[in-house]
Amino acid sequence: MSVIKKNAPGSNELLMGNEAIARGALEAGVQFAAAYPGNPSSEIIGSLSQVAEEMGIYVEWSVNEKVSLEAAASASFSGLRAISAMKQNGVNVASDFILNLNLSGVGSGGLVLVAADDPGALSSTNEEDSRFIAKIGDLPLLEPATFQEAKDMTKYAFELSEAINSLVVVRSVSRISHARGNVILGELPQEKKTARYDTSKIFIPVSAPLRHLALHMKLNKVREMYESSPFNWYTGPEKPELLMITSGSGWFYSLEAVRTLKLKEHVGILKIGTTWPLPSKLLAKHMANAKRLLFVEEVDPFLENNVKELAAEWSPEVGSWSFYGKSSGHVHPFGEINPDLIINAVSKVMDKPYAPREAGYGQKALEMTKALVPNRDLSFCAGCPHRATFWAIKGALKLDGRGGFVTGDIGCYSLALGPAGFFQVKTMHSMGSGTGLATGFGQLHKFGFDQPVLSVCGDSTFFHAAIPALINGIYNKSNFVMVVLDNSATAMTGFQPHAGTGETATGSPAPIVDIEKLCQALGIRVETCDPFNLQDTTEKVLDLINEEGGVRVLISRQKCALVKAKEEKAKYQVHVDPEKCLGESCGCARLCTRIFKCPGLIWDKDKGKSRVDEVLCTGCGVCADICPPSAIIREEN
Amino acid sequence: MNLSKDPLNLIITGVGGQGNVLASQLIGRALVRENFYVTIGETYGASQRGGAVMSHLRISKETQYSPLIPEGQADIVVALEPVEALRVIGQYGNASVSAVVNSRPIYPTAVTVGEAEYPSLEKIKQTLRDLTSKSWFVDATEIALSFGAPILTNIIMVGALAGTNLLPLARKTFEEAIQESFPGAHLSDNLKAFDRGVELTKGR
């Protein structure tokens, strides 16, 4: 049972940060939720989708982040509370709408945008601090530091949004969104509002300069509200030797550093949950008691630089300070922060030595294990259709011999940058950008460019951002092949359904937007293949790259192996015939385990032969086709 | 029941796809039932596809801790895969750490390719004995295979952890958490798997 719908106020539950955010929205009486999946934000709308029917709310997976926020805004304009959630890249995609919506204002229903950042790029291509959107958009910002706050702040964000008719941004990070902790549940409201658009109202950004001025006045009002917010608190001595100023996940690490170094009597922590606009009076009050400040926050020095700006205005009346943080190098301005980093930063500033464990043990443990532990490279799952598609592409490009290459974008198939996909993908940026790049490469023949270009994109990415690039290519008569890796899922982010899967976010049947028919309607050549049929796929790729001129599309269609394993029995039983496998003497140079590298295949060093790992093998049978002496046997189940 | 240390730091490690997240959630739920503060930090993202993964559990009666355990501060390591136990202990171990380790290797591609060696189980055991105060080796995957469901490895390992009595939790609390996590058809298999796991370490 999903915990987020539990009608048990006061109950103590273990919730993922994203579930806590979803619960906060439910406690606020949210009626409309829309998002495009992207980690670390996916479970916010994902968990709401699971309870949508029962809670009587509308939840959708939108085609991209901009559309998701637009859809949510319409509910706000019609008087309903609405939420959209996205990862940092999603904020970029939605930013054009956000930076007009700030001027138009929202409707009578509160509208909340959750931006979940991924410090350290644990599940992202880029590292980025999305708090910038609050500053350039003059939008109120809230940053939860605990799981409880993730819930409580989200609920409050709706109230704040309605109080000032503005979009409110809640910024989370991976270590809140994707971590789990205790949350005490609150009340779930029973009342539902009726949606109606008041036609006497208009939502437009013109006259922009006047609205911009009005927005600044709204923000001043928010600043006053933030001065007494329960999301800001101080813990520590009255006159600390060091004042740590922190937000978000930095709060946990700051607390741990002070505890670990036993500096409770010396170091204070000012935890700010309302980070834009900053509660300047509250900051001045605490900063007047300290001479040294250490900023602890994730990704950019947002808090740090904004507080410095205030300090410059106050100096010298309120005081002058030594600043420690990202600028001073005590906290690095890139990657994730963690308890060790903050313990060491405080240790350095306070000149209090810290050793995590007995030095002799630490060195011994590192040396003994380092010598034994092999690296674990990322790879496509056993039976992943992407491996087969890239094997076919590799084979076709080699046969073609003109130095063809692949431009890619974001999804599981990004792994084709490395050995998992035989180093086939050469570029990776934003959603759909492989196809956008291909449209440009496809114009370079006038400058002597004669290499075949293939772009790859996933099925969900196709709908998200690749369609405009495809149309650009067709309109401008660009020369390239677009390969749609259709695995019938948004696999990387947790198998969410999308426009092509025939299912909505809440599990009801949906019309299938057929990629094949859509491409055919654009008047271009479209082929489909099953990547598990290597020969057919290779031939089709070769034929398509040989047909010079215009855009051609290949849809490589085979279900994600992880989805398939849940839905159906394996097609084949696969084993290696030890009589036929010639090992090192074969001449294949261990093609199956050394190059093809499906995790379901193992090189048995002792026996000098390959074998199949029965735990990992999914029975796709593709490896049987790559073994030169046909030693890999597949038998239909 | 009381914690042997506050916070008690537990790491569950393995390879993406082995069910780390589920195991950590199950233990976390059981602990929250007993009114502990529990924070769990997981490895997310691309590593879920065959990479080395970890779940950090911080358990306390006093406060909510961060989802990351500082270097050298693990008290218990549960490894669903043997070399992952070594990898974690290298970074997070200390002289008093305990380890419960599944004996079934999942070879990294570097090993199947022949670029790297996978250490012998004997060598892994010996190293762990050197670096831990106590370690248990269990054949969880073999038992899971005997159930016809290798995915049960994680529940068997949770059982093996329960059998060590390193956590202040009674069997009944685990049982309730398992019921909460697997309300459907898989409940009885999971309970059986859990109990088989307990037998592997109990009194040893």
Interface of A with B in 498-527 (CB under 8 A): none
Cβ pair B45:A122 closer than 8 A: yes
As a CATH number, domain A385-566 is: 3.40.50.970
B1: number of Cβ within 10 Å: 10
Residues of A in contact with B51 (CB under 8 A): 376-378
b/e sequence B8-30, b meaning 16+ C-beta within 10 Å: bbbbbbbbbbbbbbbbbbbbbbb
Q: What are the residues whose beta carbons fall under 8 Å from the beta carbon of A360, sequence distance 6 or more? A: none
The reply to whether B124 touches chain A by the CB within 8 Å rule is yes
- Contact criterion met (CB below 8 Å) for B104 and B67: no
Nearest CA distance, B203 vs chain A (angstrom): 28
Q: How many residues does chain A have?
A: 637
CATH of domain A572-636: 3.30.70.20
Burial A257-274 (b: 16+ CB within 10 A, else e): bbbbbebeebbbbbbbbb
In chain A, what percentage of residues exceed pLDDT 70?
A: 100
Give the C-alpha separation, B162 to B201, whole Å. Answer: 8
Average pLDDT of span A541-556? 96
Supply A474's token pair. 């067709």
Q: What was the pLDDT predicted at A423?
A: 95
- For residues A129 and A88, the answer to whether their CB atoms sit within 8 Å is yes
B51/A378 touch (CB, cutoff 8 Å), yes or no: yes
Domain residue limits, chain B: 8-201
Q: Which residue has the tokens 């990862």?
A: A87
Among the ranges given (A284-288, A555-559, A598-602), the one the predictor scored with the smallest mean pLDDT: A598-602
The ranges assigned to domains in chain A are 3-185+202-227, 233-350, 385-566, 572-636
> To the nearest whole angstrom, how far is the Cα of B140 from the nearest Cα of chain A?
13
B20 and chain A in contact, CB less than 8 A:
no
Nearest 5 degrees, angle CA A82-CA A87-CA A90? Answer: 80
Set of chain B residues whose Cβ sits within 8 Å of the Cβ of A368: 86, 90, 127, 130-131
Question: Both tokens of residue A544?
Answer: 């398509």
Q: Which residue type sits at A68?
A: S
pLDDT at A274 over 90: yes
User: Is any Cβ of chain A less than 8 angstroms from the Cβ of B118?
Assistant: yes
Q: Do A615 and B114 touch (CB under 8 A)?
A: no
Chain B partners within 8 Å of A364 (Cβ): 130-131
Q: Is A422 on the interface with B (CB under 8 A)?
A: no
Question: B48: pLDDT confidence band, cut at 50, 70 and 90?
Answer: low
The answer, for B47 touching chain A at a CB cutoff of 8 Å, is: yes
Average pLDDT value for residue range B187-197: 95
Per-residue CA distances from A145 to A152, B75, B136, B200 (Å):
11, 25, 37, 40
Least Cα distance to A97 among A116, A79, A108, A84 occurs for A84
Q: Does A227 touch chain B (CB under 8 A)?
A: no
Point out which residues pair with A552 in neighbouring strands. Answer: A481, A525
Judged by a CB distance cut-off of 8 A, whether residue A597 touches chain B is yes
Contact of A331 with A345, CB cutoff 8 Å: yes
Asked if B108 reaches chain A (Cβ–Cβ under 8 Å), the answer is yes
Query: Is A359 an interface residue toward B (CB < 8 Å)?
Result: no
| CA–CA dist A227, A281 (Å, integer) | 7
Q: pLDDT digit string (tens) for B132-142?
A: 999 999 999 99
Between positions 71 and 90 of A, the ones with CB within 8 A of B are none
The greatest distance separating any two alpha carbons of chain A, rounded to the nearest whole angstrom, comes to: 87
Q: Which helix (H) or strand (E) holds B25?
A: helix B20-33
Q: Which helix (H) or strand (E) segment is A141 a member of?
A: strand A141-142
**Of A171-175, A241-245, B7-11, B105-109, which range is least confident?**
B105-109
Q: Which two tokens stand for residue B43?
A: 């490895």
Contacts of A147 in chain B (CB under 8 A): 39, 64
CB contact under 8 Å between B123 and A372, yes or no, is yes
Task: Give the separation between CA A171 and CA A134, rounded to whole angstroms.
Answer: 10
B81 touches chain A (CB under 8 A): no
Indicate yes or no: CB of B112 within 8 angstroms of CB of A1.
no
CB atoms within 10 A of CB B2: 7
Do A256 and B114 make contact, defined as CB atoms within 8 angstroms?
Answer: no
CB atoms within 10 A of CB A607: 11
Instruction: Classify A296 as helix, strand or coil.
Output: strand
Are both A3-185+202-227 and A385-566 of the same fold? yes
What does the alpha-carbon distance between residue A64 and residue A35 come to, in Å, rounded to a whole number? 7
Minimal CA separation from A63 to chain B, in Å: 21
Q: What is the dihedral of CA A36, A37, A41, A42, to 10 degrees?
A: 130
Distance CA A381, CA A617 (A): 9
Question: Sign of dihedral through CA atoms A307, A312, A317, A319?
Answer: positive
ipTM, interface predicted TM-score of the complex: 0.95
pLDDT reading at A599 higher than 70: yes
Contact B65 A256 (CB under 8 A): yes
d(CA A563, CA A567): 6
Average pLDDT over residues A193-211: 96
- Among chain A residues, the shortest Cα distance to B37 is held by A182
Which amino acid is residue A633, in one-letter code? I
Q: Give chain B positions within 8 Å (CB) of A362.
A: 72
A253 vs B contacts (CB less than 8 Å): 66, 68
Q: Which residues pair with A287 in a beta bridge?
A: none
Tokens read off for B95: 């002289």
Please answer whether residues A418 and A378 qualify as being in contact, where contact means their C-beta atoms are separated by less than 8 angstroms.
yes
Torsions phi, psi for A157 (to 5 deg): -60, -35
B64 touches chain A (CB under 8 A): yes
Least confident of A41-55, A489-503, A617-631: A489-503
User: Which residues of chain A are within 8 Å of residue B11 when distances are taken between CB atoms?
Assistant: none
In the sheet with A141-142, reading across from the earlier edge strand, the strands are: A58-61, A32-35, A82-87, A111-117, A168-173, A141-142
Q: Is A340 in contact with B70 (Cβ distance < 8 A)?
A: yes
- Checking if the pLDDT of B128 tops 90, the result is yes
Question: With bands split at pLDDT 50, 70 and 90, how would you rate the model's confidence at A304?
Answer: very high
Report the alpha-carbon distance of residue A238 to residue A330 in Å, rounded: 24
Judged by CB atoms closer than 8 Å, whether chains meet at A374 and B47 is answered as no
B109·A419 Cβ contact <8 A = yes
What's the rounded mean pLDDT across residues B13-22?
90
Is A338 in Cβ contact with B68 (below 8 Å)? yes
- Identify the three-state secondary structure at position A430: coil
CATH topology for A3-185+202-227 is Rossmann fold (3.40.50)
Buried b / exposed e over A298-337, threshold 16 CB at 10 Å, is bbbbbbbebbbeebeebeeeeeebebbbbeeebbeeeebb
A337/A637: higher pLDDT: A337
Whether B62 contacts chain A with CB within 8 A: no
Closest residue in B to A180 (Cα–Cα) = B40
Averaged pLDDT score across all residues of chain A? 96
The pLDDT tens digits for A429-483 are 999 999 999 999 999 999 999 999 999 999 999 999 999 999 999 999 999 999 9
- The answer to which of A185-199, A578-592, B32-46 has the lowest mean pLDDT is B32-46
- CB within 8 Å: A374 and B116: yes
Nearest residue to A339 (alpha-carbon basis) of A219, A427, A251: A251
User: How many Å separate Cα A411 from the centre of its chain?
Assistant: 10
Average pLDDT (B191-200) is 96
Is the separation of the CB atoms in A165 and A199 below 8 Å?
A: no
Is B32 in Cβ contact with A13 (below 8 Å)? Answer: yes
Q: Are the Cβ atoms of A374 and B44 closer than 8 angstroms?
A: no
> CA-to-CA distance for A189 and B130, rounded, in angstroms?
57
Q: Which of A62, A60, A252 is nearest to A173 (CA)?
A: A252
* Interchain pair A372, B86: CB under 8 A: yes
CATH number of B8-201: 3.40.920.10
Residue B193 has pLDDT above 90, yes or no: yes
Question: For residues A92 and A132, is the Cβ–Cβ distance under 8 A?
Answer: no
Q: Is the dihedral of CA B59, B61, B66, B71 positive or negative?
A: negative
The C-alpha atoms of residue A166 and residue A112 are separated, in whole angstroms, by 9
- Strand partners for A611: A602
3-class secondary structure, A254: helix
- Please report, for residues A110, A203, A357, A380, A577, the alpha-carbon distance to residue B92 in angstroms, rounded to integers and kept in the order given: 45, 55, 9, 28, 43
Whether chain B has a CB inside 8 Å of the CB on A615: the answer is: yes
Burial class (CB in 10 A: 0-12, 13-18, 19+), B61: middle
Report pLDDT for A121: 92
Q: Which residues contact B180 (CB under 8 A, 6 or more apart)?
A: A1, B29
Give the residue among A278, A241, A252, A598 at the shortest CA–CA distance from A421.
A598
Provide CB contacts within 8 A for A344, sequence distance 6+.
A354
**How far, in Å, CA of A47 to CA of A114, rounded?**
14
pLDDT, tens only, B64-104: 999 999 999 999 999 999 999 999 999 999 999 999 999 99
| CA neighbor of A216 nearest in space, from A155, A146, A140, A142 | A140
Do residues A459 and A558 lie in contact, with contact meaning Cβ atoms separated by under 8 Å?
Answer: no
pLDDT confidence of residue A51: 97
What Å distances lie between residue A621 and A363, A449, A487, A493, CA to CA? 46, 38, 17, 26
Q: Does A184 touch chain B (CB under 8 A)?
A: no
Q: Are A109 and A11 spatial neighbours (Cβ–Cβ below 8 Å)?
A: no
**Which residue carries 């859809």 as its tokens?**
A71
Q: Class of A233-350 per CATH? A: alpha beta
Look up residue A370 and give its amino acid: K
Between strands A632-636 and B8-15, the pairing is unpaired
Size of interface A-B (CB pairs under 8 A): 202
Chain-centre distance of CA B103, in angstroms?
Answer: 13
User: What pLDDT is stored for residue B46 in this prediction?
Assistant: 59
Residues of chain A contacting residue B41, judged by C-beta atoms under 8 Å apart: 175, 178-179
CA distance linking residue B70 with residue B183, whole number of Å: 35
Minimum-distance CB partner of B110 among A1, A377, A415: A377
* Residue whose C-alpha is closest to residue A558's, from A480, A493, A622: A622
Whether B112 and chain A come into contact, CB under 8 Å, resolves to yes
Chain A residues with beta carbon closer than 8 angstroms to that of B66: 175, 249, 252-253, 255-256, 338-339
Disruptive mutation site among B37, B38, B68 for chain A (greatest number of A CBs within 10 Å): B68
Cβ–Cβ below 8 Å for A358 and B95: yes
Backbone angles phi, psi at A283, to 5 degrees: -65, -45
Q: Is A198 on the interface with B (CB under 8 A)?
A: no
**Residue ranges of the alpha helices (H) in A105-146?**
132-136
Over residues A99-126, the mean pLDDT reads 96
Residue type, B120: S
Q: Are A377 and B108 within 8 A, CB to CB?
A: yes
Q: Are strands A180-184 and A12-16 parallel, antiparallel or unpaired?
A: antiparallel
Interface test with B, best of A298, A357, A410 (most B CBs within 10 A): A357
| Identity of the residue in A357, A369, A615 whose CB atom sits nearest the CB atom of B94 | A357
Residue contact A175–B41, C-beta within 8 A? yes
